[in-house]
Amino acid sequence: MADHNRDLILALSYVPARRRPALQALFALDAALGAVVAGGREPMIARIRLAWWREALERLDREAPPAEPVLQALAETVLPAGIAGAELAEMGEGWAVLLSDAPLSAEDLAIYARKRGALLFACAARLLESEEAAGGEAWSLVDLARHCGNAEDRDAALAAARALPAPPRAPPRLRPLGMLDALARRDAEAGRPHWEEPGSPRRMLRMLCHRLSGL
């Protein structure tokens, strides 16, 4: 689902070099789970694949990783920092919400935002040696809206992002994550019929403003 790589690349360039591989591994996991859902023409098959990821992530806590690059990167860079594979496995619960044939409810979107965005950003914050709230909900909701082919679900995701409380001023160590959340909130407020391209000059400027101010 995520074509935000240019925004993400810029944000991660501000992460300390020793932590960057771990954050890259986290976001690679998010992309892998998103690819399962995006390619899920048969929801049952997509659920089976998500279940495989969940079990594989849980096994990282007790076994060496299989020959799968994302799992190997997580085992090498993320688990040694104290984040368990079982914690990462919970991200699949957020993605699984999108496999329903019914319109997404407010509860669905809350689960998705919490289990995908908030959990991902919370793990990233811990890798950046912070226990403070890092956001992520708005980022995940707007990413969903960007890629949603259903106008009703898209509008519901944007409305959910707009309804989130304003975040506190981001501390310097969390500003690489805050850059992404700031972009998402800007996109949600704009309600644009045409999305800006990731990495565009105006998006880069917004990210750099957040980097300097934390707002």
Q: pLDDT truncated to tens, each residue of the chain (215 aa)?
A: 445 689 999 999 999 999 999 999 999 999 999 999 998 678 999 999 999 999 999 999 999 999 999 999 999 999 999 999 999 999 999 999 999 889 999 999 999 999 999 999 999 999 999 989 889 999 999 999 998 889 999 999 999 999 999 889 999 999 999 999 999 999 998 766 568 888 899 999 999 999 999 99
CA distance 206 to 16: 21
Report pLDDT for 46: 94
Report pLDDT for 41: 76
Report pLDDT for 5: 85
Report pLDDT for 39: 81
Report pLDDT for 156: 95
Report pLDDT for 149: 86
Question: How far from 215 is each of 4, 15, 191, 206, 207, CA to CA, in Å?
Answer: 20, 18, 20, 10, 10
The answer to whether 42 and 13 are in contact (CB under 8 A) is no
Which residue is it, tokens 């997580």?
74
Report pLDDT for 189: 87
Query: Which pTM does this prediction carry?
Result: 0.95
The answer to whether 118 and 137 are in contact (CB under 8 A) is yes
CA 107 to chain centre: 18
